[in-house]
Structure 1
């Protein structure tokens, strides 16, 4: 199951592979309109903060990484199924289900973002 820790680790790995410091990364993000502190990037990379779809798209742009690489989910089983198999109590299962729903929502944001990238959107106003 895809978690904030996994996504953050992949961001960190990609950044380090490109030999980009955290500070340079946040500077490049700022150049494209994403305001983020180095501390926030560190929290994202360590899985202590989730990354929004907008932030993730910008990070992928800066790192020249396909978003699918960062969001690839290699596991088919749900966390709820896993915790039920381990005979966890219902409160634990409900908590896990909430987290799983949040992750699925994040994955849906990815699909919407990809669909928007494939469709040219005309502005509603003209300058």
Structure 2
């Protein structure tokens, strides 16, 4: 799969998780100085049209996610993304991020201890 396909697929998934219609997203994009039709958004979500950096930034703002969320290969391993999608507060997300970083360090140390270092 191409990365463009993944971005469109992720835009659609996040939009649906937030229970926003394509029309609602398009209306909110106008507030970010991006004029896009509902049909254009549909084409982006279905990999029939590429997306510009400006459009992607505006969509990430409208959906309330970090632009980097569209580029993660395996979001299921990212606890912060899991909680962000469920609209937890910024303070909670920061604490979860710290906890996630501590767990990653612990797992790296465990791999080193067991001689599994890459």
Partner Cα distance (2:6, 2:69) in 1: 11
**Unaligned regions of 5+ residues in structure 1, if any?**
75-127
The question of whether the paired residues in 2 share the 8 Å contact of 1:60 and 1:66 is answered with yes
Residue aligning to 2:66? 66
**Unaligned regions of 5+ residues in structure 2, if any?**
75-118
Q: Any residues of structure 2 matched to 1:22-41 within 5 Å, and which?
A: 22-41=22-41
Tell me the TM-score normalized by structure 2.
Answer: 0.59
The alpha-carbon deviation at position 44 of structure 1 amounts to 0.3
The alpha-carbon deviation at position 72 of structure 1 amounts to 2.0
Hey, which bits of structure 1, 4+ residues long, moved more than 4 A?
Answer: none
Deviations 1:29-83 (A, max 9, x none): 0122100000000000001111100000000000011111101246xxxxxxxxx
Q: Any residues of structure 2 matched to 1:83-102 within 5 Å, and which?
A: none
The question of whether the paired residues in 2 share the 8 Å contact of 1:2 and 1:73 is answered with no
Partner Cα distance (1:71, 1:3) in 2: 8
Tell me the TM-score normalized by structure 1.
Answer: 0.55
Partner Cα distance (1:32, 1:66) in 2: 15
SS of the aligned residue for 1:35 comes to coil
The question of whether the paired residues in 2 share the 8 Å contact of 1:26 and 1:38 is answered with yes
Higher relative contact order (CA 8 A, sep 6+): 1
Partner Cα distance (2:31, 2:57) in 1: 14
Q: Any residues of structure 2 matched to 1:43-54 within 5 Å, and which?
A: 43-54=43-54
Q: How many residues align?
A: 74
